[in-house]
Amino acid sequence: MSTHYNIVVIGGGTAGIMTSAQLIRQKKDLKIAIIEPSDKHIYQPA
């Protein structure tokens, strides 16, 4: 597991995941970490 990232996103909800996806589309070699404190994920379609 890498401990060095270009971007760290706080929150793995819809906004955090969509923002991360957009950044990866713009620059494929980014290393992005998403920090989500919740153990559960409830699907909520955008």
What's the full length of the chain, in residues? 46
Q: What is the pLDDT of residue 13?
A: 87
Q: What is the pLDDT of residue 44?
A: 73
Q: pTM (2 decimals)? A: 0.75
pLDDT (tens place) for every residue of the chain, 46 residues total: 668 999 999 998 889 999 999 999 999 999 999 999 988 877 777 6
Q: What is the pLDDT of residue 1?
A: 65
Residue 33 has φ and ψ, to the nearest 5°, of -110, 135
